[in-house]
């Protein structure tokens, strides 16, 4: 680790553009709220999600990420559910045609949320605390639009004790913990319906250089703006089976554009599985289950296809969702499918 430490220090204080500063996720399909504040309050219940990602297993000091997020609506529910969940903690799957489920036009409402994230890569760690707000409004009877904003703080810390430099008297670096705290601003919009969604968002829009903090003298770092474009479509193969292709484009100058292609299938609104391809990076297998109207879980495994493939056993990601105040006992998220 000490051999790699100067590289992490360089990324922190000298060349932040060589690596994206925000964590990478494969399970963003099931929590796009992490990337777009416009999803705040999109469901009719309070959506709590916890996740962890271990990237590039087998490489010492590889990124490890943890997060918890929650958001809820205020003013109205997006849609009324006319299908009640069967009794029991893990109810049996519904049988027969579900065309009796009625669509109800969305009404204008507000959404609020918050999230906390922690990401550690070797001696470098980043913590984020963010609050979000969104306003949802129907465009037509079946199509809705929301706009959102997020704001928070981001702290980057470097463990100077883990660094071994050729010149130990470097005035820029002092032993102990070194930290920077920055303000983070994000914007987003989301157009969605029963069968498609299109979203655009931007994060870390405040490009002001970070203020110096303990242990660092003269070194500065700029936040790197991140931009995301996301789109998906739901094809009903039959009443109990759907196919959902989607794509995400991510750009963070001067890093190259990153593109994810995803294909997911859902059975009985309960069990889902899919694959994801990240260009020049990884192929991921995803699977999960909406256990009941309170709990859902998801897991993904990334098989690295880049030059790191010879050094790593891949990446693992786990997400657990809890639906609170779910009065209609919705089992499958109605908008975040």
Q: What is the CATH number of the domain that holds 303?
A: 2.40.160.60
Does position 312 have pLDDT exceeding 90, yes or no? no
Instruction: Give the pLDDT of residue 177.
Output: 63
Domain hosting 140: range is 28-76+106-164+174-207+224-324
What does residue 100 show for φ and ψ, rounded to 5 degrees?
-75, -15
pTM of the prediction? 0.80
Q: How confident is the model at residue 67 (pLDDT cuts 50, 70, 90)?
A: very high
Name the token pair of 166: 């050729």
Strands (E), the chain: 46-54, 64-74, 109-121, 124-138, 144-159, 177-192, 196-203, 226-233, 235-238, 241-251, 258-267, 271-278, 282-290, 295-304, 315-324
What tens digit of pLDDT does each residue of 242-297 get?
999 999 999 988 788 999 999 999 999 899 999 999 988 899 999 999 999 999 99
- What is the model's pLDDT at position 185? 95
The Cβ-side half-sphere exposure at 337, using a 13 Å CA radius, reads 30
Q: Which of 207, 239, 231, 233 is nearest to 220 (CA)?
A: 207
The angle subtended at Cα 99 by Cα 94 and Cα 102, nearest 5°, is: 105
Quote the CA–CA distance of 336 and 321 in Å, as a whole number: 12
List the single range of 205-219, 236-250, 254-268, 297-311 with lowest mean pLDDT: 205-219
Residue 46 lies in a domain: yes
Indicate whether 336 belongs to any domain: no
Q: Which pLDDT score, from 0 to 100, does residue 255 have?
A: 82
φ/ψ (deg, to 5) at 76:
-170, 170
User: What pLDDT does 172 receive?
Assistant: 57
Residue 133 has pLDDT above 80, yes or no: yes
CA distance 337 to 330: 12
* 140 lies in some domain: yes
Closest CA to 204 of 179, 181, 182: 182
Q: What is the mean pLDDT of the segment spanning 148-153?
A: 96
Which are the contacts of 96, defined by CB distance < 8 A and separation ≥ 6? none
pLDDT single digits (tens) 153-207: 999 888 777 666 665 665 555 555 677 888 999 999 999 998 999 999 999 998 6
Mean pLDDT check: name the lowest of 55-69, 93-107, 136-150.
Answer: 93-107
Domain assignment present for 147: yes
Flag whether pLDDT at 209 surpasses 80. no
Cβ atoms within 10 Å of 264's Cβ, excluding its own:
22
Output 234 or 281, whichever has higher pLDDT: 234
Are 230 and 198 a contacting pair, CB within 8 Å?
yes
Q: How far apart are CA 248 and CA 232, in angstroms?
A: 9
Residues 41 and 246 sit within 8 Å (Cβ to Cβ):
no
pLDDT of the residue at 265: 95
pLDDT band at 12 (very low <50, low <70, confident <90, very high): very low
pLDDT at 223 over 90: no
Span 45-55, mean pLDDT?
Answer: 94
303-319: average pLDDT: 87
Q: What is the pLDDT of residue 180?
A: 85
Q: Is residue 276 part of a domain?
A: yes
Count how many domains the chain has.
1
> Could you give the residue ranges of the DSSP H alpha helices within the chain?
5-13
User: How far apart, in whole angstroms, are the C-alpha atoms of residue 139 and residue 133?
Assistant: 19
Q: Is the pLDDT of residue 77 over 60?
A: no
Please give the pLDDT value at position 164. 63
| Strand, coil or helix: 139 | coil
- Give me the pLDDT at residue 158, please: 84
Query: Which of 28-32, 211-215, 293-297 shows the lowest per-residue confidence on average (mean pLDDT)?
Result: 211-215
333 domain residue, yes or no: no
Among 325, 315, 318, 327, smallest CA distance to 281 is for: 315
In a domain, 100, yes or no: no
Residue 144 burial by Cβ neighbours in a 10 Å radius (0-12, 13-18, 19+): buried
User: Contact at 8 Å (CB) between 252 and 276?
Assistant: no
Asked whether residue 261 is assigned to any structural domain, the reply reads: yes
């Amino acid at each position: 680790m000490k051999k790699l430490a100067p590289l992490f220090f360089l990324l922190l204080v000298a060349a932040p553009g060589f690596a994206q500063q925000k964590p990478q996720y494969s399970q963003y399909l099931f929590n796009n709220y992490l990337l777009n504040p416009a999803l705040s309050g999109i469901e009719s219940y309070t959506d709590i999600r916890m996740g962890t990602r271990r990237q590039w297993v087998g490489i010492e000091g590889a990124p490890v990420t943890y997060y918890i997020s929650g958001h809820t609506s205020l003013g109205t529910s997006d849609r009324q559910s006319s299908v009640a969940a069967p009794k029991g903690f893990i109810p049996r799957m519904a049988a027969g045609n579900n065309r009796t489920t009625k669509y109800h036009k969305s009404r204008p409402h507000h959404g609020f949320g918050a999230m906390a994230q922690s990401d550690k890569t070797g001696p470098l760690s980043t913590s984020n605390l963010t609050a979000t707000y969104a306003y949802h409004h129907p465009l037509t009877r079946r199509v809705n639009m929301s706009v959102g904003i997020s704001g928070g703080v981001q702290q980057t810390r470097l463990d100077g004790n883990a660094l071994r430099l050729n010149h130990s008297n470097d005035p820029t670096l002092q032993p102990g913990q070194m930290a920077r705290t920055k303000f983070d601003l994000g914007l987003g919009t989301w157009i969605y319906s029963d069968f498609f969604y299109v979203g655009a968002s931007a994060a870390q829009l405040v490009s002001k250089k970070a203020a110096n903090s303990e242990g660092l003298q003269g070194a500065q770092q700029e936040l790197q703006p991140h931009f995301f474009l996301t789109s998906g479509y739901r094809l009903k193969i039959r009443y109990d089976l759907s196919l959902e292709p989607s794509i995400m484009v991510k750009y963070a100058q001067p890093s190259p554009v990153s593109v994810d292609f995803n294909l997911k299938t859902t059975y009985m609104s309960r069990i889902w599985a899919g694959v994801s391809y990240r260009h020049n990076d990884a192929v991921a297998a995803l699977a999960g289950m909406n256990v009941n109207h309170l709990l859902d879980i998801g897991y993904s495994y990334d098989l690295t296809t880049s030059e790191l493939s010879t050094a790593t056993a891949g990446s693992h990601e786990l997400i657990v969702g809890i639906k609170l105040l779910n009065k209609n006992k919705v089992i499958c998220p109605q908008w975040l499918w």
